[in-house]
Every structure is written in structure tokens, then in C-alpha cells.
Amino acid sequence: MLKITYIPILRKPLFAIIALAAALASQTVVYAQASSANSMESLLQQIAERLSRYEFDAAIALFDTIPAPDRDSANVRVLEASVLASAGKLSEAKTIVQAVSLRESNNTEALYVLAMIEGAEGRIRQQQEALEALVRIDPNHISGLVALGNVQLARRNLREAAGRFRAVITIEPANAEALLGMARLLRINQEWDDAEVFFNRLIELHPHMALAWNERARFMRVRGRLDNALRDINEAKRLAPSDYWIAIDGGTILLDMDRRDDALVEFNRAVTINPNEFLGYVYTAGLKDNSGDLDGAEHDYAAMLRLKPDYHYAREGLGLHKMRRENWTEARDILVEAFRQAPSEYHYALLAGISWIRSGDLAGARTFLNQAMPKLTRDSLEWHMLRLYYDMTVRNYVGETNLLRLVNEQEDPILKARMLFYMAVFYDIRGNTNAANRYFLMVHEMDKRAIPEWRLNSWILASRNLPQP
């Protein structure tokens, strides 16, 4: 029968990739029939080659060509399950390793793969249980100990995690994952000097490990040593130029250094590496907004919304840009949904109402605002502003004077700036351009750049060639 030891040494998001070539180089392979040795070794080498190129489907297909009885051996089945899991086929992989575990309850490799699948599915308690069962069978199982340490580290069980990592380091002093785990643990525990010792040892022993440089860069950033962080992240980038998270970390370090243009280059690089990952667009949209690349920002808000439809901040950003373009119907629909998702954000109701009124559908605006008002604290300044726009839909302006008084008496500068903006828009819709411009300028003078209305206010001033002192 064929005997192979499962060795995970390289990671892909959510799961380990099997470095079969390394396994073949270091294992003794015993075959059911001596004559099958060459063909089996050739097949395994072909699988290894497919895996090295991330060609998971091609690697999976080759398992069907392995002759019986080797094809049905527990180790080959576990190896196949690990490749399936690396390809994202978790259900198929889980079925295989569970079947192997039923046949061989002490098969540690099946337990290890099962634990990794449970983790990939977000079943952390079950993952920990599988790993604990594994190390009870084999207390010196390196991969199991490291994985268990990482699970306990993620759950902030620092003492237990440290014990697992130390056990591995005692057995294998140069084990990269255990050294990295200890360095991370010490960083979390703010044992800065000891953490740095472990990061330095990790890089000394594994200078070609991009993740080691990446993690030390994160450590240096937390410590405020940004020049060191940048040097480390650049080395990580050299070693792994297609790593999404290295690009993200590089961008954040450059942001901390106030090198915004360079940061945007890195975040754009991240988006190019993986256009289906959300976080890169969060950075690019904001930086493009601030740099004046408004079309680019609008595109990235739309990408964020495509990837995470329930992220109401993306709806806010895209809705503001639709208002900038005076695409009132689109803006209305986007902001109405934002308010549905986040009803405590009153400005979504106001912006949606404004867009509805601007679109010319006063009846629809009135119905929406009437439904939105009960969600705000009655008689609050925000409620009165919503009521002002509701009254506008029936051309009733009796609350205007009272609301101006309340806004002028407001002591919270952020709330006051926001309410001044909505007063400016109120006058603008009514056709009192001079009053509107005066209030838009007052908003600008208050300099509250963190509020979402600030961007709209700035765009309006720029479109009217009004001075922005």
C-alpha cells in the first residue's frame, strides 16, 4: 500500500495548500506492487506540479488516474481532501476525511485536514476540538500544535497559545510558524522587546519568507517606527509582489507617513491584484475623493457596493456622487436603501428626501419623509429639519423662522454645520440662491471636514465658482 505523510507548508486564504513535491522528496513511499512504483511516483509528481501552479482542478482530476488499491488508501484520500479544500470544495473534502476518520480514528492527518476545514467554515469550536483530539493522539504533531496555538491566539487564550508555540519551538527551534505565532502573541500582549526578538529571529532564519517581513512591518508600524516598517514591507513586496495584503499594509504605512499619493498607488495595486476583495476600494475611494478624482471615487464606491451590498457607507458615498451629478432618481434610490439599512443615520433620510424633491416627485417625497420622521426623536433639531422638508412638499414654510433660530442657538459645532448645510439646500430648492450661497459659505467656514455633507458643500461651492476661504 502507498504511504504518504501529509505536509502543509504553504498557505492560501482560508486553507493550506499541499506542497506535495516537498513531501515526495522527504518521504519513503511503499507501493502495493513494486512494478507500480514508477507510474505512481510520476502521477504524484504531476499532482505536485499542478499544485505549484495553483491548478487545483487539474490536480484533482489526476487522483482518478491513481490505480487501486493505492487510490483508496487513507493517506491518498486525505491528500485528495486537502487539495479539494484548497480549491474551495470544502463539502467534498469534509466527506472524505470524515469517512477516513470513521475507518481510522487515530489518523492524525485526517483530523488535521478536518480541523482546517472546520476553521475555513467558521466553526472555530469544532476546529479546536479536532485539533485537541489530534494532539492527544500525537502530542508532538507539529502542524497540529501550531494550528491549535493559532486558534487559541485568535480567541485571546494567550497562555494556552504560548504553551503550544513553545512546545513546537522545543521540538523544532527554527519552525517558522511557531516563531511567528510567538511574535504575534507577544505583540498582542505588548511585550514589545520580546516580540521584536522573535520577529528578528524569524527573519534571520527565514529571510525569504514574505510573511515574516510583512508581520515585522506591522509590528514596526504599531511601534511608530515607520521608516523601519516601510523597509520591511518593501522587502515583503519584493518577495511576494502579488500578495494583496502586503499591498494593503504598504498603503497604510504610507498613509501614516502622510504620503497619500504613494499610498494610493499601493491601494490601487491591491485592487488590481484582487478586484473582488472589498478593503482596497475603501481606501481608494476615500483617497480619490480627497484628491479630486471624483469619477474614480464614484467607480470605487460602486465596486464596494457590488461586493458588500449591506455596507451603508458605500451607499452613502455613491449616493453623494449621484447627487453631485444631479442624477436625482439614482441618488434617491441609493439613499433610501441606506436609510433602511441604517435608520439611526438621519442624514440618509434628509439626503434621500432632497433627491426625491429635486427629481420633481413631491408626492413620493412627502410619503417617504412622513414615514421617516417617526424614526427620529420628536422635537430634536434633526426631526425639525426633516419636518421642514416634509412641509416643503406641500409648499408650507411656516417652520422656517423657528428652525433658523434653533440652528443658530445650537452649541454642537458638528450638528450646527450639518443643519446649516440643510438650510442652504432648503433655500436653494426654493430659488433663493443668495441665501443658499450664504449658508453654503458658512458651512465651509466651520471647517468640519469629517461630516458627509462637507463633500457635497465643497462640490456645490466649486460648481458655482464661489470663494472657499
Predicted local confidence at residue 45, as pLDDT: 79
pTM metric for this prediction: 0.82
pLDDT band for position 199 (cuts 50, 70, 90)? very high
104, 108, 111, 115 alpha-carbon torsion, rounded to 10°: 180
For residues 458-464, give the mean pLDDT. Answer: 94
In Å, how far are 237, 241, 248, 250 from 269, measured between CA atoms?
Answer: 11, 10, 9, 10
pLDDT in tens, 250-274: 999 999 999 999 999 999 999 999 9
pLDDT in tens, 156-175: 999 999 999 999 999 999 99
User: Is pLDDT of 234 > 80?
Assistant: yes
Q: What is the DSSP letter of 380?
A: S
Predicted local confidence at residue 445, as pLDDT: 95
Residue 18, H or E segment: strand 15-18
State how far the Cα of 418 lies from the Cα of 347, in Å rounded to an integer. Answer: 9
Task: Please provide the average confidence, as pLDDT, over all residues in the chain.
Answer: 89
CATH 1.10.1740.10 fits 1-138, yes or no: no
pLDDT in tens, 326-347: 999 999 999 999 999 999 999 9
Share of the chain above pLDDT 90, in %: 76
Domain residue extents for the chain: 1-138, 337-463
